[in-house]
């Protein structure tokens, strides 16, 4: 059952009855809207004396009618305690642990959870085989890529995957605790009518505020889980790139493999192997067809058609751009001698033959 379903918020199937004050149905959570979140955060910030930041709403004649229905999200600044803890982690960015032992032990997943939550994915694919074969590496199993730079990419991807999986488990715990808190506020409905009348209104307000806070906590946990899942997706992309860059596959195949869906079991999976074989066949076929039907270059065509044509051996031209041929060796030899011994004057733009003894007389 999805958390977006209003029925998912009810832990108890309490009967709806006006006669029994001890049986109150749990109120379904309203769908997510910025108004509820903004109001709860504003009251919490005012209680703790925290200043919120918000951008001014532009006065647009088209959307100004929606201002009464939709409210703008407000930015909650980072709390000083959160920033102080982060500064200690930033002192050693490379050698620092991806997850502290305390946090890892506290949110340790059971073995029944998915593989990408409990352990690192195994790189078993034709991509891995091609990378190791290209580097003459005989390792197998969970060994890193043979290339040093690819090994660094793979190690970084593993760190990101471990951190994202741990964040996912933390969000899961937050959602469970928030839902448990909502159940307690629902139980408080049973005692409101037993209070004196002067306290019933205030008690009802406290219960409704607690229910609203619990609902927003669950939604925040879902947002954190969504971000963690996208971070796992980024880690998978980094690790895939680490193996593909040393596989020797063509760039178009590498890009296609990077964009393929994740099967939640392996880094690449059998679907990737099948797609790679198909892409390789399609690429080779397109390359062969292109070489078969590509037209010959113009220079090669002329060389083939007019071979020997300027040596006094007439040839049959097959195009309208055929070069002129000479009927005798004497005509061609005379022209060649004039060209080699002549001078071309650039300023006059004409060809002059060399002076002979007869011309001098």
pLDDT digits (tens, 9 = 90+) for 258-293: 888 888 888 887 888 888 888 777 766 666 666 555
Query: What percent of the chain stands above pLDDT 70?
Result: 62
Whether residues 151 and 227 fall in one domain? yes
Q: Output Rg (C-alpha) for the chain, integer angstroms.
A: 39
Tell me the pLDDT tens digit for each residue of 287-332.
666 655 545 444 444 444 444 544 545 545 444 455 555 455 555 5
Question: pLDDT over 90 for what percent of the chain?
Answer: 24
- Placement of tokens 């379903």 in the chain: 5
Whether the Cβ atoms of residue 267 and residue 240 lie closer than 8 Å to each other:
yes
Residues 127 and 31 in one domain: no
Closest by Cα among 230, 233, 178, 186 to 208: 186
DSSP for 201-235, please give it. HHHHHHHHHHHHHHHHHHHHHHHHHHHHHHHHHHH
128 and 237 in a single domain? The answer is yes
Question: Who has greater pLDDT, 321 or 196?
Answer: 196
74 close to 53: Cβ distance less than 8 angstroms? yes
What is the residue range of 43's domain?
11-82
pLDDT-derived band at 227 (thresholds 50, 70, 90) equals: very high
CA–CA distance, 253 with 274 (Å, rounded to integer): 12
DSSP 8-state assignment for residue 352:
E
Question: Which secondary-structure segment (H or E) carries 301?
Answer: helix 298-305
Least confidently predicted of 88-97, 158-167, 193-202, 239-248: 88-97
Give the residue among 136, 99, 122, 113 at the shortest CA–CA distance from 240. Answer: 122
- pLDDT value at 202 more than 90: yes
**Mean pLDDT, rounded, of the chain:** 73
Instruction: Dump pLDDT digits (tens) for 56-111.
Output: 666 666 666 665 444 567 788 888 888 888 887 888 787 778 888 999 899 998 98
Q: What is the C-alpha to C-alpha distance for residues 27 and 7, in angstroms, rounded to an integer?
A: 9
Per the structure, how many domains does the chain have? 2
Residue 150 lies in a domain: yes
Crossing angle of helices 148-187/197-244, nearest 10°? 170
Residues 123 and 26 occupy one common structural domain: no
Look up the pTM and report it: 0.62
- As a whole number of angstroms, the distance between CA 98 and CA 34 comes to 34
Top mean pLDDT of 13-22, 138-147, 319-328 is at 138-147
146, 246 Cβ separation under 8 angstroms: yes
**192 and 116 belong to one structural domain:** yes
- C-alpha of 321 from chain center: 56
Backbone angles phi, psi at 262, to 5 degrees: -95, 130
188 domain residue, yes or no: yes
Residues 77 and 200 in one domain: no
Taking each helix axis from N to C terminus, what angle separates 251-258 and 197-244, rounded to the nearest 10 degrees?
Answer: 160
Is there a domain that residue 311 lies in?
A: no
């Amino acid at each position: 059952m999805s958390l977006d379903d209003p029925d998912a918020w009810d832990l108890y199937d309490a009967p709806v009855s006006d006669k029994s004050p001890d049986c109150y149905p749990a109120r379904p959570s309203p769908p997510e809207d910025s108004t509820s979140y903004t109001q709860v955060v504003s009251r919490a910030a005012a209680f703790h004396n925290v200043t919120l930041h918000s951008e001014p709403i532009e006065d647009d004649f088209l959307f100004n009618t929606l201002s009464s229905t939709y409210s703008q999200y407000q930015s909650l600044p980072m709390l000083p305690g959160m920033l102080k803890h982060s500064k200690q982690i930033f002192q050693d960015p490379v050698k620092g642990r991806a997850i502290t032992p305390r946090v890892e032990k506290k949110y340790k997943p059971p073995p029944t959870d998915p593989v990408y939550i409990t352990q690192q994915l195994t790189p078993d694919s034709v991509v891995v085989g091609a990378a190791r074969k290209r580097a003459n590496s005989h390792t197998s199993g969970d060994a890193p890529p043979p290339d040093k730079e690819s090994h660094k990419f793979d190690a970084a991807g593993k760190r990101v995957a471990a951190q994202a999986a741990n964040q996912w488990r933390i969000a899961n715990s937050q959602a469970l605790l928030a839902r448990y808190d909502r159940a307690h506020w629902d139980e408080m409905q049973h005692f409101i009518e037993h209070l004196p009348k002067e306290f019933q209104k205030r008690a009802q307000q406290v219960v409704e505020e607690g229910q609203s806070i619990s609902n927003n906590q669950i939604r925040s946990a879902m947002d954190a889980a969504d971000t963690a899942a996208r971070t796992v997706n980024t880690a998978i992309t980094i690790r895939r790139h680490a193996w593909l860059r040393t596989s020797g596959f063509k760039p178009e195949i590498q890009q296609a493999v990077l964009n393929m869906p994740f099967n939640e079991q392996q880094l690449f999976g059998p679907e990737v192997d099948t797609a790679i074989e198909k892409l390789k066949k399609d690429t080779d076929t397109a390359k062969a067809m292109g070489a078969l039907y590509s037209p010959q270059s113009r220079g090669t065509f002329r060389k083939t058609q007019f071979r020997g044509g300027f040596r006094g051996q007439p040839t049959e031209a097959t195009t309208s751009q055929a070069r002129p041929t000479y009927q005798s060796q004497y005509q061609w030899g005379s022209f060649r001698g004039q060209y080699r011994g002549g001078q071309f004057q650039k300023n006059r733009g004409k060809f002059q033959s060399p002076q002979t003894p007869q011309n001098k007389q």
